[in-house]
């Protein structure tokens, strides 16, 4: 057993190796255009486990945010000049947004940097194991509406999965969890990670649902500003 997977629960042990050779084009369909000058950023894809089973840490962004308002997302944000790199940025942002104790996180892998059109970030996803859980909450209501540890069983449940249609015609994967609708960048990453990890259950990808009305206005602002709604 390698040092990377030693001490991990069995369900998580295959993920580091499965993500090692992933390329950006598998994770996103976007390339930064010439002259875009994107800013570096990072997100934390944090897997944990409790008595109810495996889960992932997600938050709901405030509806007053300039981009991606109201979207369910991974903790994360822009990389500061004082951050040594994307791992440090992801952990710092997760602490600032959710109160997470970074000392309880074991980093397992980093994925290729991905360009995100609405915010003009190149986002490095950092995969972690929540080996020492800590309390999490919405630290600043101006940025974060709510924080959730979402059960993987709910995300993988075929009846909770669909293809979401934006008013622009854009189609993408979605997870429908009651009041929480995971779509866009976050849903795309989760969908591809579940597939490469071998966790995905067969689901009906021909089922198309419209983006809920409460999320449309904010995504249209992104679309009008950048040409991309996600």
Could you tell me the two tokens for 6?
């030693």
Q: What is the DSSP pairing of strand 208-210 with strand 161-165?
A: parallel
For residue 225, pLDDT beyond 70: no
Residue 116 — φ and ψ, nearest 5°?
-115, 105
pLDDT at 158: 98
> Do the beta carbons of residue 75 and residue 57 sit within 8 Å?
yes
With vertex at residue 157, the alpha carbon angle to CA 124 and CA 91, rounded to the nearest 5 degrees, is 25
> Using CA atoms, how far apart are residues 131 and 82, in angstroms rounded to an integer?
26
Could you tell me the two tokens for 128?
């972690």
pLDDT at 220: 59
Domain boundaries, the chain: 10-226
pLDDT at 4: 82
pLDDT at 148: 97
> Using CA atoms, how far apart are residues 59 and 138, in angstroms rounded to an integer?
8
> Using CA atoms, how far apart are residues 141 and 157, in angstroms rounded to an integer?
30
Instruction: Decide: helix, strand or coil at residue 132.
Output: coil
pLDDT at 105: 98
220 compared with 223, residue with greater pLDDT: 220
pLDDT at 3: 78
> Using CA atoms, how far apart are residues 30 and 24, in angstroms rounded to an integer?
9
Q: Give tens-digit pLDDT for 5-22.
A: 889 999 999 999 999 999
Identify the band that residue 209 occupies on the pLDDT scale cut at 50, 70 and 90. Answer: very high
Instruction: Kindly list the distances between the CA atom of residue 45 and the CA atoms of 88, 108, 127, 227, in Å, as whole numbers in the listed order.
Output: 13, 10, 5, 26
Q: Give tens-digit pLDDT for 57-73.
A: 999 998 776 555 679 99
For residue 23, pLDDT beyond 60: yes
Strands (E), 62-199: 72-73, 76-78, 105-110, 114-116, 121-130, 144-151, 161-165, 171-177, 180-182
What is the percent of the chain with per-residue pLDDT over 90, rounded to a whole number? 71
pLDDT at 66: 59
pLDDT-wise least confident of 55-69, 81-95, 182-196:
55-69
25 compared with 53, residue with greater pLDDT: 53
pLDDT at 1: 54
pLDDT at 5: 85
pLDDT-wise least confident of 54-63, 67-76, 146-155:
67-76
> Do the beta carbons of residue 40 and residue 184 sit within 8 Å?
no
CATH code of the domain occupying 10-226: 3.90.79.10
């Amino acid at each position: 057993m390698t040092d990377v997977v030693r001490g991990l629960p069995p369900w998580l042990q295959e993920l580091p190796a499965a993500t090692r050779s992933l390329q950006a084009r598998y994770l996103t369909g976007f390339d930064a255009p010439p002259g875009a000058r994107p800013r570096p950023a990072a997100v934390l894809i944090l897997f944990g486990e409790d008595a109810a089973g495996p889960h992932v840490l997600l938050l709901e962004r405030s509806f007053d945010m300039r981009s991606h308002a109201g979207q369910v997302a991974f903790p994360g944000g822009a990389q500061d000049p004082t951050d040594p790199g994307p791992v440090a940025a992801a952990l710092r942002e997760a602490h600032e947004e959710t109160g997470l104790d970074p000392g309880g996180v074991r980093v397992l892998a980093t994925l290729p940097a991905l360009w995100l059109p609405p915010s003009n970030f190149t986002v490095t996803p950092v995969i972690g194991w929540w080996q020492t859980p800590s309390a999490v909450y919405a630290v600043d209501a101006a940025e974060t509406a709510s924080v959730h540890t979402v059960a993987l069983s709910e995300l993988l449940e075929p009846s909770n999965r669909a293809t979401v249609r934006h008013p622009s015609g854009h189609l993408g994967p979605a997870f429908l969890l009651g009041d929480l609708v995971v779509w866009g960048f976050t849903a795309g990453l989760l969908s591809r990670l579940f597939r490469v990890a071998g966790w995905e259950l067969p689901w009906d990808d021909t089922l198309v649902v419209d983006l809920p009305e409460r999320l449309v206005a904010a995504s249209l602002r992104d679309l009008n500003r950048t040409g991309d709604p996600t």
